[in-house]
Structure 1
Amino acid sequence: MDKNYTILIIDDKSENLHYLSNILKEENFLIRATTDASFAINSSKLNPPDLILLDIKMPNMSGFEVCKILKKDETLKDIPIIFISALDDTQSKVKALNEGGVDYITKPFEKEEVIARVKTQLKIFESKNTISKLLELQDFFLKKIIHEMNTPLSIISLNIDNLESTLGYKEQFEAIKASSKSLSSIYNDLYYLIKKEKRITEEKSINLVRFLSSRVAFFDEMANIKNIDITLDINEEFEVFMDSNELERVVDNTISNAIKYSFENSTIEITLDKEDENYILFIKDEGIGITDTKAVFQAYYQQKDKNIGLGLGLSIVKEICDKNEIKIELSSEKNNTVFKYIFPQNRVIKGD
């Protein structure tokens, strides 16, 4: 392995410490070994090891108790712990894993098994650290993208409106506006992703007729590029109580998805209705359809041979709907795809 990892061995039997220390030193691991569990905990806080081999049956403090203490410490909780014990019953092994252990080695020790299990857990630990660093870089990268996108989008929108008021309607202006709206939708998805943990949810009563009308108007240029007609049918008028930004992400991503995958010269139907006691929003499009109606809600999913978008929109939709207890029913057949959003009763404010 590339790094000289430090392994802490905690066992009340000095012969076990000696044996494990010797075989692991042969693999160029740095070894710290002790029979004192309290000392091991305190020393770990000062100088955390990369992996811990921990005996279960010890006087004064059991291995399970030591593990609980370590897992409560913010700086030590991610250190992999392999339990070592003469106990070979299933119950002990299950408890060890439930307490936070990553593996379990039974006595008497087999040299090759100990080395293999230690190396495997260190590789997993190393991979987790790499993923964690990549996620930090991804977060930083997304924040940079958000920052860099905002100003150019605002400038494009402002200037195209000024040009259109000066020169009059041009087909090219429509295309620029549509592209700007598409980028704006991507921007809003990325902004939601990086801000969702810190953002304070502000729930309020939202008139769906007015809200949906504004979103249809927003996507007008994008729909016009493909000569798609977006209709809004109100069979049952009602309001929903939720955060407007979250509702916007649900509606915008569904409409945007419908436009991307719809055929030219087709229709997207948006309907508010009531079935039995359920208040429902339908969004139906006429397009290529969705092959896998379950996988489509996974982050970064893209339909085979259709490399369109980032694959984030519908995963955000699913996340928000789960949070607000909005049930999603998705059907797709014969070039007709229908997203059905069923609002829970506690979020519906009924119309007159």
Structure 2
Amino acid sequence: MDKKYTILIIDDKVENLQYLNNILKDENYLIKATTDAQFAIKSAKLSAPDLILLDIKIPHLNGFEVCRIFKDDEKLKDIPIIFISALDDVQSKVKAFEEGGVDYITKPFEKEEVKARIKTQLNLFESKQTNINLLKQQDFFLKKIIHEMNTPLSIISLNIDNLETQIGPKEQFEAIKASSKSLSFIYNDLYYLIKKEKKIEEKKEIELIKFLSSRVMFFDEMANIKNIDINLDIHAEFNIFIDENSLQRVIDNTISNAIKYAEINSQIDIILDINKDEHFIIIKNSGSYIQDTDSIFKAYYQDKSKNIGLGLGLNIVKDICDNNNIEISVKSENNTTSFSYKIDIKDVIKGNL
């Protein structure tokens, strides 16, 4: 390890502090040792250590209480804490892990064991921090992409509409509109990913027939490129109570996926149905057979034979459905694939069809 790590040791016995210091001094660590838990907490807040060795039986505040204080502090909560104690009972060990400890070393200390366990936890901590930094960079990158995509997409859409008004419908305009909408799905998926933790859902009653009809119209240009008809098949009428933006991500990503994999000159069916008081939205297409219907919902999954898209759309669908108690089932056989969404009965508002 090239970096010089700081280790904070808290133990009420000076001889233990001296022994641990002697064990670790040859490992190029910066050692801070104290018998005073309150002082240790204040010191850590001023300059956070990389790892803490914490005794359980210390005066005034026991080790579990000290650990809790660290874990409740936003700036210190990720510091790995290894409990060191003469207590060797199962209850103490379980409580140590429940309070947030990452390891437990019993006294008397074995020199090589202490060194190995500290090195392991520091490596894990370093890896975790690296992952956190990568996620921060990814978040910044996604936000940058979204910012850069929004304006060009708006300009393309506006200018194509203006040209179509002046010149009239053209096959090329349909292709440009379809491509623009494909990019807009990428934009919307990325936007959802970076906003989902902060977004407050606003649930309301959605008129499904009206809503689904609007999505069919939206996808018209994309479907026309492959000469696909999108058919809205109403077997039963019902409305649902859900956040509209979330529902749109589910429906749009499923229809978009159906268009990508559907055969040319085929049909996509969007079905509203009730079966034994269970309410379904079903989207069905003729096209490629899906061998692994579970993996398709994993983030960044792509069909190796197609290599289409970012592999985010269906993962977002799964996330939204899980959060809204919507049960997904996928069937792919005889060249037909259907995505079935069973709506939680609590969110169903029945119609009169």
| TM-score calculated relative to the size of structure 2 | 0.96
Distance 1:235 1:139, change over 3 A: same
Residue equivalent to 1:257? 257
Give deviations 1:217-271, integer Å, cap 9, x for gaps: 1111111112222111001011111111111001000101111122222221110
Structure 1 position 36, deviation (Å): 1.6
C-alpha distance in structure 1 between counterparts of 2:77 and 2:218, whole Å: 48
On the 8 A contact 1:93/1:104 being kept in 2, the answer is yes
Corresponding residue number in structure 1 for 2:304: 304
Distance 1:313 1:262 in 2: 16
Q: Which residue of 2 aligns with 1:94?
A: 94
Question: In the TM superposition, what are the counterparts of 1:57-76 in structure 2 within 5 Å?
Answer: 57-76=57-76
State the shift of 1:284 in Å: 0.9
Aligned 1:140-289 pairs, distance under 5 A? 140-289=140-289
Deviations 1:323-352 (A, max 9, x none): 111111222223222111111122111112
Report runs of 4+ in structure 1 exceeding 4 Å deviation. none
Indicate the SS of the match to 2:117. Answer: helix
1:19-34 to structure 2, matched below 5 A, reads 19-34=19-34
Identity of aligned residues (%): 71
Distance 1:10 1:146 in 2: 48
Cα deviation, 1:43-72, whole Å, max 9, x if unaligned, reads 212221110001122333221121111111
Aligned partners of 1:61, 1:197: CA distance in 2, in Å?
Answer: 36
Q: Quote the Cα distance in structure 1 between the aligned partners of 2:307 and 2:90.
A: 48
| Aligned-partner Cα distance in 1 for 2:105–2:141 | 42
The aligned amino acid for 1:270 is I
Write the deviation string for residues 109-129 of structure 1: whole angstroms up to 9, x where unpaired.
222221111111111111111
* Residue-pair matches, total: 352
Distance 2:34 2:306 in 1: 59
- Worse overlay, 32-41 or 230-239: 32-41
The 5 A counterparts of 1:108-123 are 108-123=108-123
Give the aligned residue type for 1:249: R
Q: CA deviation at 1:275?
A: 0.7
**What does residue 328 of structure 2 align with?**
328
What is the aligned partner in structure 2 of residue 132 from structure 1? 132
The Cα shift of 1:93 comes to: 2.2
- Structure 2 counterpart SS, 1:108: coil
2:45 alignment counterpart: 45
